[in-house]
Structure 1
Amino acid sequence: MQSEHPLAEAMVRHLKAQEVRSLELKNFDSLTGRGVKASLNGNQYVAGNHKLLEEEGVCVAPELALRADALRGEARTVIFFAENKEAVALVAIADQIKQHSAAAIRTLQEQGVEVYMLTGDNQQTAASVARQVGVKNFVAEVLPSEKAAFVKDLQAKGKVVAMVGDGINDSHALAQADVSIAMGKGSDIAMDVAKMTLISSDLLQIPKALKLSKQTVRTIRQNLFWAFIYNLIGIPIAAGALYPFYGFLLDPMIAGAAMALSSVSVVTNSLRLKVQKI
């Protein structure tokens, strides 16, 4: 298999299970966000979406186009196969919605997070999936560069953007986002670009990760606040600020113990994160 796309991998696994014989293709070219093309025995072959067929001038028979529209209405991704500028077949693939996707999106929205879905799938499929998982804002038929441009537009509006992705096509947008999150079972390039990688592919871990990050920042602020107050009071006393008025000098041993206690209090407050419910 020469394509690295997850859908291509799934199809190859299925065909191998059916013991379909493989062929050695020539002039293979992967077209990001559209499909692939190659040649064999002097014939030109194309596999991809309708955008690629239009670019290559491929003719699609009316009955095949009607069948494709019907499948898209069932929230399926349609892949056309063409030989020498003529579509000869199509395959419909349905992405299985993860068990906790709807719950994760609902939780994020309850936390005040605006959720957008960016997909290269067609409008009908995107609308169906968005409806099933509860996403109000979605953009269909976007290329990888357009995903990154969408993130940049949100940032230009003053929004802090977190991007979640797992594929090669998501890497541009992940690099552009303020916070980039890759799924553990995603592509290597997505995990390499992302600032955070979730070990599992459970989307419920995303709102948990955001909640944990907020608790961590809050703890840091608490530590800085109390350390500042502690030193603001303690250092002048240790320096003898009270001696002219009360004749009081702080014993060096007590001062040392007080500084150690300050560190202990900061560490103890930080360890509270381990028992916080997320």
Structure 2
Amino acid sequence: MNHVFWYRQNPIHIWSEIEVLRLAAGVESNTIHPVGKAIVEAARGADCENVEVTDGTFREEPGSGAVATIEQKRVTVGTLDWVRRHGVDENPIQEVEELKNQSVVYVGVDGVLAGLIYFEDKIREDAGHVIEALLKQDISVYMLSGDKKHAAEYVASVVGIPKEKVLSGVKPDEKKKFISQLKKDHNIVAMVGDGINDAAALASSDIGVAMGGGVGAASEVSSIVLMGDRLSQLLDALELSRQTMKTVKQNLWWAFAYNIVGIPIAAGLLLPVTGTMLTPSIAGALMGLSSIGVMTNSLLLRLKFASKQQHTYKDSLKTKTNSDSDLMDRKGKLKHPYTAAEWRNT
């Protein structure tokens, strides 16, 4: 999740902070990217006037940015490389100190860098618990992020992912290549994502898992969609799949053993010894009993899974308390090197 926490304009030119935000929101209102949504929400919070792009001028490149014409101005929103590719040759705004969990979006207007918009990555509350649980199951966890290295590594350090398993500044095609490389090494790869930038990687993985609050492109190519939009549901899906496969194997072994014993008896194996011979009606009833056993064991899956969930929930409450304290300690160490006049909360 992304949240705009401040923005600043280019002091050399005429655009105010509100004007920069208004134009950026006008472009991003046409995208479904989480960053774009955050900019639009920030503009609403600042009571910016709604603007519309000129028909046929909007263009977007996943992982880079978007460009459109608004009020006869060519507005570019995205990475520094993206705005430079659209005519911004200078960077008159002095580079600010990079904070731990912030990312920046550049806004260009008619070939001039008009301002910067900074974002704070809001870490999902259950992320730390989920990563810890996956690591305990000997599952290797990687983080693929389009954010800068400092922001990606900060988030990874909070949730418990080692730095050597963090790939920052990666484009959608690079995510796909990384997934393909893991598969070439004979790994079974599951990819979790929620944005259009993740669609290619989700499609190329063995198991694509889309968050329910994500965009349609991610959901359409994924094998699993977590409807509750909670990351902890990933553990539920993993446990449910294990319990399901366990139940399938139990049913197969039960049916196999039942038939190994039952078929010879039905064929008259006991007739020379005991004089017992199964009638067709009794044989049919016993066959139905086998099916009832399989169905009963399958229906018990819900109870087994619910019991496992309850046990996991109790453990997660303990873990969450510890992780929240750690997260607050880490956030308390963040210091903003700017005066109050430079900050604009939305």
Query: Scaled by the length of structure 2, what TM-score is found?
Result: 0.74
Q: What's the counterpart of residue 75 of structure 2?
A: 45
Inter-partner Cα distance in structure 1 for 2:300 and 2:90? 63
Q: What's the counterpart of residue 206 of structure 1?
A: 234
Which of 81, 102, 108 matches 1:82? 108
Indicate the SS of the match to 2:74: strand
Which of 124, 137, 140 matches 2:150? 124
Q: What's the counterpart of residue 129 of structure 2?
A: 103
How many residue pairs are counted as aligned between the two chains?
A: 274
Whether 1:167 aligns to 2:195 is: yes
Q: How does 1:170-185 map to 2 (within 5 A)?
A: 170-185=198-213
For CA contacts below 8 A with separation 6 or more, give which structure has more relative contact order: 2
Q: Is the 8 A contact 2:32 2:215 kept in 1?
A: no
Q: What's the counterpart of residue 65 of structure 2?
A: 35
Offset, 1:13: 2.1
Inter-partner Cα distance in structure 1 for 2:132 and 2:228? 19
Indicate the SS of the match to 1:94: strand
Q: What's the counterpart of residue 10 of structure 2?
A: none
Instruction: Point out where structure 2 has 5 or more consecutive residues left out of the alignment.
Output: 1-28, 310-346
Query: Which amino acid in structure 2 is aligned with residue 2 of structure 1?
Result: N
Query: Which amino acid in structure 2 is aligned with residue 139 of structure 1?
Result: L
Offset, 1:63: 4.3
Q: What's the counterpart of residue 224 of structure 1?
A: 252
Instruction: Point out where structure 1 has 5 or more consecutive residues left out of the alignment.
Output: none
Indicate the SS of the match to 1:158: coil
Inter-partner Cα distance in structure 2 for 1:204 and 1:168? 22
Whether 1:113 aligns to 2:139 is: yes
Inter-partner Cα distance in structure 2 for 1:33 and 1:54? 15
Q: Deviations over 1:98-124 (max 9, x none)?
A: 111111110111111111111111111
Offset, 1:154: 0.7
Q: Is the 8 A contact 2:62 2:196 kept in 1?
A: no
Offset, 1:161: 0.8
Q: Deviations over 1:38-74 (max 9, x none)?
A: 234554321111231343352343643x21xx23x33
Whether 1:269 aligns to 2:297 is: yes
Dislocated runs of 4+, deviation >6 Å: none
Inter-partner Cα distance in structure 2 for 1:118 and 1:215? 29
Query: Which amino acid in structure 1 is aligned with residue 103 of structure 2?
Result: T
Percent of aligned pairs sharing the same letter: 37
- RMSD of aligned C-alpha atoms? 1.8
Inter-partner Cα distance in structure 2 for 1:53 and 1:122? 16
